[in-house]
Amino acid sequence: MDDTAGARYGVRMIVIVSGTNRPGSNTRKLAAQIEGVYQSKGVEVQVLDLARLPLEAFLPASYAVKPSALAEFTNPILAADGLVVVTPEYNGGPPGVLKYFIDLLPFPESFERRPVCFVGLAAGVWGALRPVEQLQTIFGYRNAFIYPERIFVPGVYKALDDAGRLINPEIAARVEAQAEGFVSFVEKLRGKTLRPAAAA
């Protein structure tokens, strides 16, 4: 499904944030795979690709007056029942654009009591442990409900095949298990069912 497909739904139940603006990133490829896992469970989902942030969003004036084009990214966050944040590791932390995007979002309603889970990927052996832990601190400060089961993908340049799919079946199974657990987590917190009866 492309990035605009979620607009067909009245409510975007799970929003996946691809946390870098680097074109053709492994983060975006992994986000697409995670999207497919949620779709296979009958969950409505949308990917927000930070590589598509409007240029106006990077003007200093955007802190005070948000450009209208940013609503394409803000509105799905506000409508989401749960967020999945996929982050690479840049210089020991999350990409600056991800923190900047967080700073542009409405306070406090963007994350207040909103369920969120994390997936990290990196070239190194720890699979973005550090940026995920930093993001957990930020989202905890913003009173989000943090799902405890995290995923780390080390050696990312060898972890994906040419089509951008996970090669390691153990990590692929973790993605599947996290999605299943996170959907149940969101359903319990929100008091609603995200999946149609046939998929529950």
Spell out the SS3 assignment of 13-54: CEEEEECCCCCCCHHHHHHHHHHHHHHHCCCCEEEEEHHHCC
| pLDDT tens for the 200 residues of the chain, in order | 333 333 333 234 899 999 999 999 999 999 999 999 999 999 999 999 999 999 999 999 999 999 999 999 999 999 999 999 999 999 999 999 999 999 999 999 999 999 999 999 999 999 999 999 999 999 999 999 999 999 999 999 999 998 889 999 999 999 999 999 999 999 999 888 888 765 55
Residue type at position 56: E
The C-alpha angle 82, 59, 46, rounded to 5 degrees, equals 20
Residue 19 and residue 49 in contact, taking contact as beta carbons nearer than 8 Å: no
Quickly name the fold that domain 5-193 has. Answer: Rossmann fold (3.40.50)
Task: Name 63's Cβ contacts closer than 8 Å, sequence gap at least 6.
Answer: 103, 104
112 CB-near residues (< 8 Å, 6+ apart): 142, 143, 144
The DSSP secondary-structure symbol of 118 reads: E
